[in-house]
Amino acid sequence: MNTVRNRIGLVVTAAAASVFVLAASACGGGTKVAATPDVSKATPATSIDVSAAEYSFAVSSKVVAAGRVPVELHNNGSEPHQVMILRLHDGVSIDRYVSAAHSDEGAASSLIDNAGGVNVVDPGASGTGYADLAPGKYALVCYIPSGDHVGHLHKGMVAEVTVPDSAANAPVAAPSALGDVVMQDFNFTLPPQGLGTAGTYRVVNNGAQAHEFVVMRIADGKGLGDVIPYLQSGFQGDKPLTFAGGSGGVEPGHDGYSDLALSPGQYVAMCFITDPASHKHHAEIGMVIPFTV
């Protein structure tokens, strides 16, 4: 399919919980990324602080340690943002990935492995997730669509970090988790105690495809019937939800981590990664779970 599709957009019906398609977008052009940092002189950072705005990232360090590195995203912009961390396959440059994503975001996924990150947070908010880093080069991207239905990646919202070979000698340890969110093809299983306790949760991918965990709080007095048109429109109109973070993409057989501090209310979690066979977002084929805190 030669059309770029936004990573967020979906419809859920009532009763049978059928899931329909979200908006697509088309865009073009090229994005230039800063040159790869000189890793020979830099001390790898053991955490990453990312400030997001329209449409760029400011990253605290371009050279990062291996292991389960915490990533804190500060949204200093006026639109929702995320920071998805992608390991570029050996021999793939960040410019090559960006160029491929301009043509077909789904096909471009063959050039990368999902390595976690922080899912969507609102303007003025922050979120914490974790990256699963091995030596190599990584792209930091935001796929969220603007009002013109063009994804932020295609407006230049991309940065690069490097994990040097030497960093593998002392990887950052994984955090302790309060419970597991299990992702499969195509559903979620939440921990038995729910997600009401603030802290770190492990996000396990037991499926055969990459998955992500996008958490949204539904506004009081609203429901999924209000959320759906808002997502379809590319976040236009009255806002019926608050983005509450979650984990970036996780490859099959791997796990990610997310720090959550959810206020009481009604929530829904979804996955917007595209199924290569049907070209549908995973949420369209059932990967949606409402829950209460």
pLDDT in tens, 154-168: 999 999 999 999 888
Which band of pLDDT confidence, cut at 50, 70 and 90, is reported for residue 40?
A: low
User: Per the structure, how many domains does the chain have?
Assistant: 1
In terms of average pLDDT, the best of 11-25, 116-130, 147-161 is: 116-130
Would the pLDDT of 54 be above 50?
A: yes
Cα 293 to Cα 36, 132, 234, distances in angstroms: 43, 28, 26
pLDDT of residue 8: 58
Q: How far apart are CA 155 and CA 180, in angstroms?
A: 35
Question: Is residue 3 one of the residues assigned to a domain?
Answer: no
Q: How far apart are CA 274 and CA 239, in angstroms?
A: 25
Question: Is residue 188 one of the residues assigned to a domain?
Answer: yes
Q: How far apart are CA 23 and CA 7, in angstroms?
A: 9
DSSP string, 116-138: EEEEEE-TT-EEEEEEEE-SEEE
Structure tokens at 20: 């329909």
The candidate with the shortest Cα–Cα distance to 69, out of 117, 124, 22, 102, is 117
Query: What is the mean predicted confidence (pLDDT) over 156-182?
Result: 95
Question: Is residue 286 one of the residues assigned to a domain?
Answer: yes
* 283 Cβ contact list (under 8 Å, min separation 6): 10, 12, 19, 22, 270, 271, 272
Is the link from the previous residue into 213 a cis peptide, with omega within 30 of 0?
A: no
Query: 234 near 149, Cβ under 8 Å?
Result: yes
Higher per-residue confidence, 234 vs 29: 234
pLDDT of residue 39: 57
Question: Is residue 257 one of the residues assigned to a domain?
Answer: yes
pLDDT of residue 2: 35
Measured in whole angstroms, how far is the alpha carbon of residue 150 from the centre of its chain? 16
pLDDT of residue 11: 41
Q: What is the DSSP letter of 172?
A: B
The range of the structural domain enclosing residue 16 comes to: 10-29+43-292
Higher per-residue confidence, 203 vs 41: 203
Please report, for the domain that includes residue 119, its CATH number.
Answer: 2.60.40.420
Beta-carbon-side half-sphere exposure of residue 193 (alpha carbons within 13 Å):
9
Which band of pLDDT confidence, cut at 50, 70 and 90, is reported for residue 279?
A: confident
Query: What is the mean predicted confidence (pLDDT) over 50-64?
Result: 97
Question: Is residue 85 one of the residues assigned to a domain?
Answer: yes
Q: How far apart are CA 34 and CA 18, in angstroms?
A: 43
Question: Is residue 211 one of the residues assigned to a domain?
Answer: yes
Would the pLDDT of 13 be above 90?
A: no
* Distance between first and last Cα of the chain: 39
Question: Is residue 36 one of the residues assigned to a domain?
Answer: no
Structure tokens at 169: 């000698």
Which band of pLDDT confidence, cut at 50, 70 and 90, is reported for residue 187?
A: very high
pLDDT of residue 4: 38
Q: How far apart are CA 260 and CA 119, in angstroms?
A: 11
The candidate with the shortest Cα–Cα distance to 114, out of 251, 256, 5, 213, is 251
pLDDT of residue 38: 57
Q: How far apart are CA 149 and CA 233, in angstroms?
A: 8
Query: What is the mean predicted confidence (pLDDT) over 103-130?
Result: 94
Mean model confidence pLDDT for the chain: 87
Question: Is residue 229 one of the residues assigned to a domain?
Answer: yes
Chain segment 79-108, per-residue pLDDT in tens: 999 999 999 999 999 999 999 998 888 789
